Structure 1
Amino acid sequence: MNYYLAVLKNYAQFTGRARRSEYWYFALFSLIISIILMVIGKAIGFMGLYNIYSLAVLIPSIAVGVRRMHDVNKSGWFILIPIYNLILACTDGTPGDNNYGPDPKGREGFGAADYEKPFDIDPAN
């Protein structure tokens, strides 16, 4: 639940990075709340509860999606590519700092630039 609340606190923050757990826990709790509001709305005959909630979390949902794309060192626009954004959302973030900020897991040692360097292989060994 802390991840869900953290996303709501960063309501419209489209910069930085979001861990997989932050993204997926927000999606899970948002789905659960949506289902509960649908059931309650159906019981009382007012489906507006679900619609109001959906509008309220629209911007935080987009923001956490953009930050999730930043964690895998991709532009936030990648959330518009249907299947690829799901693959990226499931992928572990770039260790160390990348173009979008420091690693939210606090891993250090190397960053995005190190993935582009070939391994140093000494033929003498």
Structure 2
Amino acid sequence: MALVSTDADDFAQDAVDAAEIAAAKHPSDHPIYRATPQEGLARFFAKYAVFHGRASRSEFWWAWALNIVVFFVAGIGVEMATSLAGPHEPRPTPGSTVIGVVFLLYALAVLVPSVAVLVRRLHDANLSGWWWLLTLVPFAGPVIGVIFGILPKQGYGKRFDRG
């Protein structure tokens, strides 16, 4: 007979994990399960270059969602700036160049924390952080990143915590 985990079991385990984290010496090394957007994004920027510890799925996905929203807003902004310039203006237009440069600066600013949150997410799934290198595979990399993001937590992932 196979054991099947239910949402109620997961929720109860999250409550137990939260109690353990609250009692720990270094709670910032432990993930925040069922993090709100504010908690997830605050942790994303607060742990800018922290590659030890773990990150919950919600912490990972709130950071991923922020990056996707910024990417789409920048893309729409570039298209709007280009279309407003008219058909005879040279491309790229000054407006689209400014938006592109701002987006590039944002992308560079969140590169390290994005890799760090993925490494911590892999730790929560009891995998080495070096698995993040698979996300660099052309075309398949983003799909691999999504798969890493949906992996369930594993109790043995606690081995990556400090303290």
TM-score for both structures, normalised by structure 1: 0.71
Which residue, 75, 86, 90 being the options, matches 2:128?
75
How big is the shift at 1:84? 5.1
Residues in 1 aligned to 2:43 and 2:105: alpha-carbon distance in whole angstroms: 20
Which whole-Å CA distance do the structure 1 matches of 2:111 and 2:71 have between them?
12
Q: Between the two proteins, what is the percent identity of the paired residues?
A: 30
CA shift, 1:34, in A, is 2.3
Q: Please state which structure has a larger fraction of its residues in helix.
A: 2
State the shift of 1:31 in Å.
1.0
Give the letter aligned to residue 94 of structure 1: Q
Matched, 1:30 2:67: yes
Structure 2 residue aligned with 1:56: 109
For the residue of structure 2 that corresponds to 1:99, the secondary structure is helix
In 2, distance between residues paired with 1:84 and 1:54? 20
Aligned pairs for 1:1-125 within 5 A: 1-2=37-38, 3-42=40-79, 43=81, 44-45=95-96, 46=98, 47-81=100-134, 82=141, 85-95=145-155, 98-101=158-161
Distance 1:87 1:31 in 2: 16
**Aligned residue pairs: how many?**
102
Structure 2-normalised TM-score?
0.56
TM superposition shift of 1:40: 3.2
Corresponding letter in the other structure for 1:29: L
Shift in Å, 1:98 = 2.3
Retained in 2: the 8 A contact 1:78–1:85? no
Segments of 5+ residues of structure 2 without an aligned counterpart are 1-36, 82-94, 135-140
Contact 2:60 2:117 in 1 (8 A): yes
Q: C-alpha offsets along residues 18-54 of structure 1, whole Å, 9 cap, x if unaligned?
A: 0001101110111102222333355222210110100
RMSD value, Cα: 2.1
Instruction: State the Cα distance separating 1:17 from its structure 2 match.
Output: 0.1
The Cα of 1:88 is off from its aligned counterpart by 3.1
Distance 2:50 2:66 in 1: 19
